[in-house]
Copies of this chain bind each other. A is one copy, B any other.
Protein backbone atom coordinates (compact mmCIF):
# COMPACT_ATOMS: atom_id res chain seq x y z
CA UNK A 1 0.00 0.00 0.00
CA UNK A 2 1.31 3.42 -0.94
CA UNK A 3 0.27 6.99 -0.22
CA UNK A 4 -0.60 9.17 -3.21
CA UNK A 5 -1.04 12.94 -3.00
CA UNK A 6 -2.47 14.40 -6.22
CA UNK A 7 -1.72 18.06 -6.91
CA UNK A 8 -4.02 19.68 -9.47
CA UNK A 9 -3.16 22.10 -12.26
CA UNK A 10 -4.02 25.74 -12.95
CA UNK A 11 -7.76 26.57 -12.96
CA UNK A 12 -8.51 23.33 -11.12
CA UNK A 13 -9.06 22.35 -7.49
CA UNK A 14 -8.49 19.05 -5.74
CA UNK A 15 -12.17 18.25 -6.13
CA UNK A 16 -11.81 17.52 -9.87
CA UNK A 17 -9.24 14.83 -9.03
CA UNK A 18 -11.47 13.02 -6.53
CA UNK A 19 -12.69 10.43 -9.08
CA UNK A 20 -9.06 9.57 -9.86
CA UNK A 21 -8.15 9.46 -6.17
CA UNK A 22 -11.09 7.17 -5.45
CA UNK A 23 -9.91 4.72 -8.10
CA UNK A 24 -6.42 4.75 -6.57
CA UNK A 25 -7.96 4.17 -3.14
CA UNK A 26 -10.06 1.32 -4.53
CA UNK A 27 -6.78 -0.35 -5.61
CA UNK A 28 -5.69 -0.37 -1.97
CA UNK A 29 -3.74 2.86 -1.58
CA UNK A 30 -4.23 6.00 0.46
CA UNK A 31 -4.95 9.06 -1.67
CA UNK A 32 -5.29 12.77 -1.03
CA UNK A 33 -6.40 15.71 -3.19
CA UNK A 34 -5.62 19.01 -1.50
CA UNK A 35 -6.38 22.32 -3.20
CA UNK A 36 -3.45 24.69 -3.67
CA UNK A 37 -3.76 28.14 -2.05
CA UNK A 38 -4.93 30.57 -4.69
CA UNK A 39 -7.42 28.16 -6.25
CA UNK A 40 -9.86 27.82 -3.34
CA UNK A 41 -13.05 29.88 -3.68
CA UNK A 42 -12.24 32.33 -0.90
CA UNK A 43 -8.55 32.80 -1.76
CA UNK A 44 -7.38 36.15 -3.08
CA UNK A 45 -6.12 35.86 -6.66
CA UNK A 46 -3.00 37.85 -5.70
CA UNK A 47 -1.34 34.68 -4.40
CA UNK A 48 2.19 33.96 -5.68
CA UNK A 49 4.11 30.75 -6.27
CA UNK A 50 5.90 30.63 -2.90
CA UNK A 51 2.62 30.88 -0.97
CA UNK A 52 1.06 28.27 -3.22
CA UNK A 53 3.90 25.83 -2.52
CA UNK A 54 3.82 26.68 1.17
CA UNK A 55 0.16 25.70 1.38
CA UNK A 56 0.95 22.14 0.29
CA UNK A 57 4.03 21.98 2.53
CA UNK A 58 1.69 22.86 5.39
CA UNK A 59 -0.90 20.30 4.28
CA UNK A 60 1.62 17.46 4.28
CA UNK A 61 2.99 18.49 7.69
CA UNK A 62 -0.47 18.96 9.21
CA UNK A 63 -1.63 15.54 8.02
CA UNK A 64 1.77 14.03 8.80
CA UNK A 65 1.98 12.37 5.40
CA UNK A 66 5.18 10.42 4.71
CA UNK A 67 6.77 8.08 2.17
CA UNK A 68 4.67 9.86 -0.44
CA UNK A 69 4.11 9.43 -4.10
CA UNK A 70 3.61 13.08 -4.92
CA UNK A 71 1.83 13.61 -8.24
CA UNK A 72 1.61 16.95 -10.03
CA UNK A 73 -0.49 17.86 -13.06
CA UNK A 74 0.59 20.74 -15.32
CA UNK A 75 1.09 23.77 -13.01
CA UNK A 76 1.10 21.18 -10.20
CA UNK A 77 4.60 20.24 -11.41
CA UNK A 78 5.81 23.59 -10.08
CA UNK A 79 4.20 22.82 -6.74
CA UNK A 80 5.47 19.25 -6.27
CA UNK A 81 9.00 20.35 -7.21
CA UNK A 82 8.91 23.11 -4.63
CA UNK A 83 7.38 20.85 -1.99
CA UNK A 84 9.92 18.06 -2.62
CA UNK A 85 12.72 20.60 -2.26
CA UNK A 86 11.34 21.66 1.12
CA UNK A 87 10.33 18.22 2.44
CA UNK A 88 12.63 15.68 0.77
CA UNK A 89 12.34 13.25 3.68
CA UNK A 90 8.63 12.82 3.12
CA UNK A 91 8.96 11.81 -0.58
CA UNK A 92 9.26 8.31 -2.04
CA UNK A 93 8.73 9.26 -5.70
CA UNK A 94 7.69 12.28 -7.76
CA UNK A 95 5.23 11.73 -10.61
CA UNK A 96 4.86 14.50 -13.19
CA UNK A 97 1.69 14.13 -15.26
CA UNK A 98 1.96 16.44 -18.29
CA UNK A 99 3.51 18.80 -15.81
CA UNK A 100 6.06 21.59 -15.75
CA UNK A 101 9.50 20.65 -14.41
CA UNK A 102 11.27 23.78 -13.15
CA UNK A 103 14.89 24.24 -12.30
CA UNK A 104 15.94 26.79 -9.71
CA UNK A 105 15.10 30.30 -10.89
CA UNK A 106 12.57 29.28 -13.54
CA UNK A 107 8.95 30.36 -13.72
CA UNK A 108 6.12 28.49 -15.39
CA UNK A 109 6.01 31.28 -17.97
CA UNK A 110 9.66 30.52 -18.81
CA UNK A 111 8.47 27.12 -20.07
CA UNK A 112 5.47 28.47 -22.01
CA UNK A 113 5.55 29.58 -25.64
CA UNK A 114 5.38 33.36 -25.98
CA UNK A 115 1.92 33.21 -27.55
CA UNK A 116 0.43 31.77 -24.34
CA UNK A 117 2.26 34.18 -22.05
CA UNK A 118 0.94 37.11 -24.09
CA UNK A 119 -2.58 35.69 -24.22
CA UNK A 120 -2.71 35.09 -20.46
CA UNK A 121 -1.27 38.51 -19.64
CA UNK A 122 -3.82 40.24 -21.89
CA UNK A 123 -6.68 38.29 -20.32
CA UNK A 124 -5.41 39.21 -16.84
CA UNK A 125 -5.31 42.88 -17.79
CA UNK A 126 -8.93 42.68 -18.92
CA UNK A 127 -10.02 40.91 -15.73
CA UNK A 128 -8.08 43.24 -13.44
CA UNK A 129 -8.25 41.06 -10.32
CA UNK A 130 -4.94 39.21 -10.70
CA UNK A 131 -6.52 36.17 -12.28
CA UNK A 132 -6.55 34.58 -15.70
CA UNK A 133 -9.14 32.30 -17.32
CA UNK A 134 -9.00 30.05 -20.38
CA UNK A 135 -11.10 30.92 -23.45
CA UNK A 136 -13.54 28.08 -24.15
CA UNK A 137 -12.40 27.39 -27.78
CA UNK A 138 -8.82 26.77 -26.60
CA UNK A 139 -10.10 24.60 -23.76
CA UNK A 140 -12.33 22.61 -26.13
CA UNK A 141 -9.86 22.05 -28.97
CA UNK A 142 -6.46 21.95 -27.29
CA UNK A 143 -7.02 20.96 -23.63
CA UNK A 144 -9.89 18.45 -23.71
CA UNK A 145 -9.82 17.34 -27.34
CA UNK A 146 -10.66 13.74 -26.43
CA UNK A 147 -14.00 14.38 -24.70
CA UNK A 148 -17.49 15.01 -26.02
CA UNK A 149 -18.90 18.52 -25.91
CA UNK A 150 -21.03 17.93 -22.83
CA UNK A 151 -18.02 16.72 -20.83
CA UNK A 152 -15.97 19.64 -22.11
CA UNK A 153 -18.65 22.12 -21.05
CA UNK A 154 -19.26 20.53 -17.65
CA UNK A 155 -15.52 20.47 -16.92
CA UNK A 156 -15.17 24.07 -18.09
CA UNK A 157 -17.83 25.17 -15.58
CA UNK A 158 -15.76 23.56 -12.79
CA UNK A 159 -12.69 25.70 -13.57
CA UNK A 160 -11.75 28.66 -11.36
CA UNK A 161 -9.86 31.85 -12.26
CA UNK A 162 -6.16 31.23 -11.69
CA UNK A 163 -3.75 33.63 -9.91
CA UNK A 164 -1.43 34.80 -12.68
CA UNK A 165 1.36 35.67 -10.27
CA UNK A 166 1.95 31.93 -9.76
CA UNK A 167 2.81 31.68 -13.46
CA UNK A 168 5.18 34.65 -13.35
CA UNK A 169 7.06 33.89 -10.14
CA UNK A 170 10.41 32.17 -10.40
CA UNK A 171 10.82 29.15 -8.16
CA UNK A 172 13.54 29.02 -5.54
CA UNK A 173 15.07 25.57 -5.10
CA UNK A 174 18.04 24.23 -3.14
CA UNK A 175 18.36 21.41 -5.70
CA UNK A 176 17.12 20.96 -9.24
CA UNK A 177 14.89 17.93 -9.89
CA UNK A 178 17.72 16.02 -11.57
CA UNK A 179 19.71 16.22 -8.31
CA UNK A 180 16.85 15.21 -6.02
CA UNK A 181 17.58 11.84 -4.40
CA UNK A 182 14.33 10.01 -5.03
CA UNK A 183 12.77 8.29 -8.03
CA UNK A 184 10.84 10.24 -10.68
CA UNK A 185 8.26 9.33 -13.29
CA UNK A 186 6.63 11.21 -16.13
CA UNK A 187 3.10 10.40 -17.32
CA UNK A 188 2.62 11.69 -20.87
CA UNK A 189 -0.77 11.75 -22.56
CA UNK A 190 -0.01 11.33 -26.24
CA UNK A 191 -2.79 13.62 -27.54
CA UNK A 192 -1.99 16.46 -25.14
CA UNK A 193 -1.71 19.51 -27.42
CA UNK A 194 -2.24 22.11 -24.70
CA UNK A 195 1.39 22.99 -25.34
CA UNK A 196 2.14 23.36 -29.05
CA UNK A 197 4.33 20.81 -30.79
CA UNK A 198 7.46 22.97 -30.77
CA UNK A 199 7.16 23.28 -26.97
CA UNK A 200 6.05 19.75 -26.00
CA UNK A 201 5.72 18.32 -22.48
CA UNK A 202 7.75 15.25 -23.28
CA UNK A 203 10.70 15.02 -23.87
CA UNK A 204 11.37 18.76 -23.51
CA UNK A 205 10.39 18.91 -19.84
CA UNK A 206 10.67 15.25 -18.82
CA UNK A 207 14.35 15.17 -19.72
CA UNK A 208 15.03 17.67 -16.93
CA UNK A 209 14.42 14.78 -14.52
CA UNK A 210 17.53 12.84 -15.60
CA UNK A 211 16.79 9.14 -15.09
CA UNK A 212 13.01 8.84 -15.06
CA UNK A 213 10.31 6.28 -15.82
CA UNK A 214 8.08 7.10 -18.78
CA UNK A 215 4.44 6.06 -18.79
CA UNK A 216 2.49 7.03 -21.90
CA UNK A 217 -1.24 6.72 -22.51
CA UNK A 218 -3.70 8.00 -25.09
CA UNK A 219 -5.45 11.14 -23.97
CA UNK A 220 -5.65 14.90 -23.83
CA UNK A 221 -4.34 17.24 -21.14
CA UNK A 222 -7.58 16.75 -19.21
CA UNK A 223 -7.76 12.99 -18.97
CA UNK A 224 -9.04 13.44 -15.40
CA UNK A 225 -12.38 14.32 -16.98
CA UNK A 226 -12.33 12.22 -20.15
CA UNK A 227 -11.02 8.95 -18.70
CA UNK A 228 -10.27 8.90 -14.95
CA UNK A 229 -9.88 5.12 -14.99
CA UNK A 230 -7.07 5.15 -17.55
CA UNK A 231 -5.40 8.02 -15.73
CA UNK A 232 -5.58 6.35 -12.33
CA UNK A 233 -3.95 3.22 -13.74
CA UNK A 234 -1.19 5.26 -15.38
CA UNK A 235 -0.50 7.13 -12.14
CA UNK A 236 -0.22 3.82 -10.29
CA UNK A 237 2.05 2.38 -13.01
CA UNK A 238 4.19 5.49 -12.64
CA UNK A 239 4.08 5.50 -8.86
CA UNK A 240 4.87 1.89 -8.00
CA UNK A 241 8.42 0.94 -7.02
Q: Which residues of A contact B (CB under 8 A)?
A: 137-138, 140-142, 145-146, 148-149, 183, 185, 190-191, 193, 196-198, 202-203, 206-207, 211-216, 218, 237, 240-241
How far apart are A235's CB and chain B's nearest CB, in angstroms? 14
- Complex Cα distance, B192 from A215, in Å, reads 10
Chain B residues lying within 8 Å of A142, measured Cβ to Cβ, are 211, 213
**A214 and B193 in contact, given A141-B183, A183-B141 (Cβ under 8 angstroms):** yes
**A216 and B191 in contact, given A141-B211, A148-B240, A149-B241 (Cβ under 8 angstroms):** yes
Given A141-B183, A145-B214, 11 extra CB contacts under 8 A: A138-B211, A141-B212, A141-B213, A142-B211, A145-B213, A145-B215, A149-B240, A149-B241, A190-B216, A196-B203, A216-B218
Per a CB cutoff under 8 Å, which of B140, B149, B211 touches A137?
Answer: B211
When C-beta atoms are compared, the residue in chain B nearest to A149 turns out to be B241
Residue among A140, A191, A197, A213 having the largest count of chain B Cβ atoms under 10 Å: A213
- Complex Cα distance, B193 from A145, in Å, reads 24
* 23 A/B residue pairs, CB under 8 Å, sorted by A: A137-B211, A138-B211, A141-B183, A141-B211, A141-B212, A142-B211, A142-B213, A145-B213, A145-B214, A145-B215, A146-B215, A148-B240, A149-B240, A190-B216, A191-B215, A191-B216, A196-B203, A196-B207, A197-B202, A197-B203, A197-B207, A198-B203, A216-B218
Contact of A191 with B211 in the complex, beta carbons under 8 Å = no
- Complex Cα distance, B100 from A239, in Å, reads 31
Chain B residues lying within 8 Å of A212, measured Cβ to Cβ, are 141
- Complex Cα distance, B238 from A140, in Å, reads 12
